[in-house]
Every structure is written in C-alpha cells, then in structure tokens.
Structure 1
Amino acid sequence: MLQYYLRMEPHLFRTAVDTELAKLRDEKRERAAKEQQLAASSDSTELALYKRMEEVRSREVRSTLEDLMYVSILEKFLLLGVDMLPRMDGFVDPPNTNLKALTEGIHSREALELVREHLLQIMGPTASAYSTAYVKMSKFQMAQVYAASVMFGYFLRRVDERFQLEKAAGTLPLSKEDAVARLERLFAAAESVEDSDNPDYAEGDATTVDLDSPAPAAPSLSSLDDDPTTWGLRDSARRASGAGASSSGASAAAGASGGSSPLQGGGGGGGGKPAKAKSALRRYVESFDQNTMVETARIVSVEGAALVERQTSALLGDIKKLTAQMQEAVGDDADSMQEAMSRMARAVEKDLVETVTMQVQTQRRSVLEAVAFGTFLRDVEGWVQGDYQLLTPLPAPKLPPQQGFAA
C-alpha cells in the first residue's frame, strides 16, 4: 500500500507512514504497560510466556519499522527526481541521472567538499579516467565501496548537523586559521581608517567590522561549481591518456580497502602541489578525539544497521556469499597485501568471482547515491526516533584503553 502511495499518490505518502508509525508507537506503549502489570503480579509463568511472545512480536515490529524507514528513504530520492540504480549484475548500463541533485540537492557547501574528497579517494585512480571508460571489478569490491559510502554519508550528516548547530550558537572552537583571519580583518580595518583623508571617517562613514564572521574562502582549484560528473577529471590531464581506466578492478579494491575511516586525508591532489586550505568542517572533524570520532561514525540503531546491509544486498547480492567467493579465490596464504591484491585482480580478470562491468560515470554515480542513501538514512532515523521513539539502540563499540592511562 505504501508503495502505491509513493508512486501514485505521493501527497498522501507521508500521512500514511505517520499513521503506521503512530500505530507501532501506541502498541509499544501498550506492551510495556502489560509487561509492567505482569511483573507486578505473582504469576511468573504467565510473565515468562508473555516475554517469549513479546520477542516474536518485537522481531515483527522491527521488520515493519525497517520497511517504513526504507520507503521513507526512497521518497527522498523521488523528491529529488533521481532514480536509484537497479540491481547490478554483469554489464551495468543504467540511464543517466542528475548527479547535481545527488550532491547540491542534499549537502551543505561545507559537506559537499568532503563528499568530493571521499569520491576521489574511494575510486582511486579510476576517478581520473574518462567518464565513458569502462571498469571491471568484483561484486565483492563494489559492495565494499557502496557500503563504505553509505557509512560515510551517514557520518557526514551527523557531523554536519553538529557543526551547523555549534556554528549557529557561536560555540565553534576558534582554529589557528580562523584566529589569523580574524586578526587580518582587524588590521585591514585599522589601515583603512589610517589611510583615510577624512578625520571623521572612523566616526561617520566606517562600516562595522564583524570579527566573528568567517574569513572569505580562498579560490579553490577544485571548484564545486562544476558538474559532479567531471569530478576527478582535472587530474587526468596530468596523466598519460592511456592510463585512465583499469580493467582489473585493482584500483577500486584499493579504494574499498581504504574506506573504513570516514575521513582519510585529502581529495586526490598531486604530491608536488601546495596543500589546499582545509575547510572549516574538515578542521572541525579533525579536532575530534578518538572517542568522539568513533561515536559519530557509528550507526546508532539496529534498524539503521540492517538497512545498510539490506540496500547493499539489494544492489549487489548476498554479501556473505560474495565474501566467501573472494576468500576462496584469494586464499589465506598470501604473504603480503600486495600479493592478496594481485590475486584479487587475477580472480576478477579470469571471472573466478562474480563481477560487474560499468562506465566510470556509473561507478561515480553509485558512490554518490550511496552517500545520499546514508545521509537520508540518518535523516529518517532522527525523525522516527524524535517523533515516535521506536528505534532499537545499537551498543557502542568498546575502544581499547588509551596509552598513558591505567587500565
């Protein structure tokens, strides 16, 4: 029924979802009251039976809740006018879509810079290839890239929400760059007063200097005003024209293997170039300690974690099966990571594992779609928990004790 509303009567979709979520919330409250009533009674047998029935019902409710959250994410793609990728098997050639809607239509400008860096990093050298060049990779590698990008989008939304809130409240810590920029604006204002021929300039005509306003952004060689379909192509001018697309999928594997951390360095700049000034959002993220970073990067609900796996599996197949295929093809006796990557590339080349072949622009689209999915997942998760308190908390990972402190 919700799929019908989503496609045929979208103006009724949100009301229908709200109605279903309200039913689940009311049922949850009734079950909690019933359990308290039984716990207060002396009939332990009836309470034990009720708890077993409750476990079964909780699984059913969780499945229903995941369905509601999933279609709510799909609605956000429809509102953008973007069709999601179909299942990826063999040769993948989906119709073109509006990648600007997958970027500028979702993220703040500060976040958009980090999305670009993520795409260039996780695609590796392939990001600099021509959009119409073809790349072949294992479905296992593609699943790694997609899932890592979903997690990145989720992390980025959580970070950006926190950043924008602290920015609006004026509680952002003043970085070294911001402090220098603030002093420069103060000195510039003082010089303009000293250079004026009008002795009353400072009292009458001078404009107020806002020392807390952000410094003007320096022009960037990697302007975000260009089309996302060209992200990475500027680097290709520095490469040999024939070294663009890799048919082995090894470059994509390198990107996937490095995608476990939400932020890992710059966005593919050349080693001889001067370092580009970091954005305020990146500096904000880099100020996190280990505990804050881990807490912000993790999925906070059982339902959210299930939807990451559900979407990745819907697109590429059973993740456990793909993992087993790759483990069998690579073996467990590789002496180094380089040898393991070489075996992985050979397995892709000889079709020893399930593979996908696509244009670079399709791989770029898949990464941006995954980032958008993670972002929307966080939006829906926050809405469901904020209005209905239905999510199941996912325990935080336990970190090893930091050095320098007694255990």
Structure 2
Amino acid sequence: MTRRISEVKEKERRKILEEIIYCLIVQRFVDNHISMIPKISSTSDPAGRVDFWPNQEQKLESVHSPEAFEMILSHLSLVLGERVVGPLDTIIQISKIKLGKLYAASIMYGYFLRRVDERYQLERSMNTLPEGFGEDRVIYEEPKPEKQLWDPDSLIRIYPDDGDGGDMVDSSNEEKSYKLRSYVMYLDAETLQRYATIRSKEAISLIEKQTQALFGRPDITVTEDGSLGASNDEVVSLTFSGLTMLVLEAVAFGSFLWDTENFVESKYPFINS
C-alpha cells in the first residue's frame, strides 16, 4: 500500500513538473511573438496543403545566437537536401509519421545545440576555449569524420567545415570570433554524447507529447515479416516553406526546453531524482 501511494505521488509530481516546464516553454514563444503551429489535420483532398501557418523565420532566428543559427541552417540543408535551392512554394507529400519523427528529432537537436552553445559562449567569454582555438589560423591535417549524434532516421548530423580551416577564425577581427561548429567538431565523442542526451524523463515525455499534439498518436503494428508499420499513418501535402517553419519551431522548442528545464531544476532539483 505504501509503495502504491509513493508511485501515485511520483506520477503526480512528474505531471506537475511537465505542466510547469511546458507552460514556461509556451511563454517563451509568446514573449518572442511567435505563433505555434496548430495540430496538423489531413484534408479531404490528398493534394490539399496543410501548412497555412505564417512565415516566422526571422522571429525564430532571433531566439538563437548567430553561431547557433548557422548550424541550424546546416540542419535545414540536410533535411531539405537539394530542394533547399528550389522554390519554397513547391508542394511535397510526406507521411505524417515521418514528419513527426523529423519534428521530434529537431527538438532534440535544438536541445543539444542550446546546451553546447551555452558552454561555448561561456568558454569564449572567459577565454578558456581549448588550446589551439586562440591561434590565428587553425589547420586540420585532414577533415574529421562527421559526428552523428542520433540514429540515421533522426537526420541530425554535424559536418566539419570545408577547406583548410581558414574560415574557422577571422584573423582580421581583434576579438577573433570562432565558429560554434568548429567547437563542436573539437569535442570528443563522449562529451558529444553527453550533451546530446536528454537529461530528465519529464523532458522526454514533453517531446513525445508535443509531437503527438501536432501529428497524432500512431497506431504502431508489427507485420508478419517483422517490420514495423502504422495502421493510421496518413500522407499530407505541404510546401518546403511550411516544412522549414516546422523544423525551425521544433529547434526553438528544444532550445526553450533546455532553458526551462535548467530554470526549474534551479528552483526544485528533480533531474536524476
């Protein structure tokens, strides 16, 4: 009986924490005058687009540091591929489950990016960047292989800069501004993995709930050959511009999730409890 009461109290505690964190995240969107994307519903016309939300790219850009947004653009290029140079009003059709996976993965990317950017900005302000970052010219003998933070389906990867590294440091700038991407590539695999890990069960739950709020909850099935399927998956149509807004919102949500998780933890320690 005592154990049952304890489990109920723990469940209630987690629920309250999730509600507090979510409300703080939504407040961050409100403070930045960003309208969150509503639930995506299929249309009666399979070719009918669903993305009638406004373009808020500038507002979504403003919530990140310039260095972080540079990496977000790389993430977008990876998501859109060659299509990024095409017309943004081009309509594509995509599975809602695949779109939901991309949205959730982009939230995790935003969480990671805010976390590592926070460390990068702190080390830069305190002049404690790793040895070698203070030189006038940083040269790698050969490019480092890409560091993949999650499974391939997540579409989250970090690529090294092209060239000999001369663009990593602006030697004409007295303050020597260093790219966040270069800093991330400098970190070892163990540190990267730690920064890419969601710290609390509450944060993981919020990522799932936010994704399901937009795309619904799929009914996952296992076929005879052992592959996974979804009986209620649907195909929706949207433009590349709409897809871009979805990804940018998800990255912003992940960034705000890191900020608010930290804030709540400072008032009421709950991580790893």
Shorter-chain TM-score category?
0.7 to 0.9
Q: In the alignment, which residue of structure 1 is the partner of 2:27?
A: 75
CA offsets per residue over residues 199-246 of structure 1, 9 Å max, x none?
A: xxxxxxxxxxxxxxxxxxxxxxxxxxxxxxxxxxxxxxxxxxxxxxxx
| 1:272-283 correspondence to structure 2 within 5 Å | 277-278=167-168, 280-283=179-182
For 2:51, give the aligned amino acid.
D
Given the alignment of the two structures, is residue 293 of structure 1 paired with residue 192 of structure 2, yes or no?
yes
Given the alignment of the two structures, is residue 118 of structure 1 paired with residue 75 of structure 2, yes or no?
yes
Mapped partners of 1:127, 1:72: distance in 2: 33
Larger strand percent: 2
The alpha-carbon distance between structure 1 residues 125 and 88, as it changes in their structure 2 partners (threshold 3 A), is: farther
CA offsets per residue over residues 340-369 of structure 1, 9 Å max, x none?
A: 9xxx9xx9xxx9941111111000000000
Tell me how far 1:180 sits from its aligned partner: 3.3
The alpha-carbon distance between structure 1 residues 132 and 286, as it changes in their structure 2 partners (threshold 3 A), is: same
Mapped partners of 2:155, 2:54: distance in 1: 30
Q: In the alignment, which residue of structure 2 is the partner of 1:264?
A: 158
For 2:60, give the aligned amino acid.
L
Tell me how far 1:332 sits from its aligned partner: 4.8
Tell me how far 1:97 sits from its aligned partner: 3.3
Name structure 1 gaps, 5 residues minimum: 1-48, 183-255, 334-339, 395-407
| 1:212-361 correspondence to structure 2 within 5 Å | 258=152, 260=154, 262-265=156-159, 277-278=167-168, 280-319=179-218, 321=219, 323-324=220-221, 328=223, 332=226, 353-361=233-241
Root-mean-square deviation (CA, aligned residues, Å) is 3.0
Larger helix percent: 1
The alpha-carbon distance between structure 1 residues 170 and 274, as it changes in their structure 2 partners (threshold 3 A), is: closer
Identity %, equivalent residues: 33
Tell me how far 1:128 sits from its aligned partner: 2.7
Q: In the alignment, which residue of structure 2 is the partner of 1:95?
A: 53
Task: Give TM-score scaled by structure 1 length.
Answer: 0.55
Contact 1:133 1:359 survives alignment (8 Å): yes
For 2:103, give the aligned amino acid.
Y
Name structure 2 gaps, 5 residues minimum: 43-48, 139-149, 169-177
The alpha-carbon distance between structure 1 residues 328 and 100, as it changes in their structure 2 partners (threshold 3 A), is: farther
The alpha-carbon distance between structure 1 residues 354 and 258, as it changes in their structure 2 partners (threshold 3 A), is: same
- Secondary structure at 2:209's aligned position in 1? helix
Given the alignment of the two structures, is residue 179 of structure 1 paired with residue 135 of structure 2, yes or no?
yes
Q: In the alignment, which residue of structure 2 is the partner of 1:23?
A: none
Greater radius of gyration (CA): 1
Contact 2:160 2:181 survives alignment (8 Å): no
Contact 2:103 2:250 survives alignment (8 Å): yes
Greater alpha carbon shift after TM alignment, 135-144 vs 365-374 = 135-144
Q: How many residues align?
A: 247
Mapped partners of 2:131, 2:196: distance in 1: 23
Contact 1:117 1:266 survives alignment (8 Å): no
CA offsets per residue over residues 17-60 of structure 1, 9 Å max, x none?
A: xxxxxxxxxxxxxxxxxxxxxxxxxxxxxxxx434312111101
Contact 1:159 1:296 survives alignment (8 Å): yes
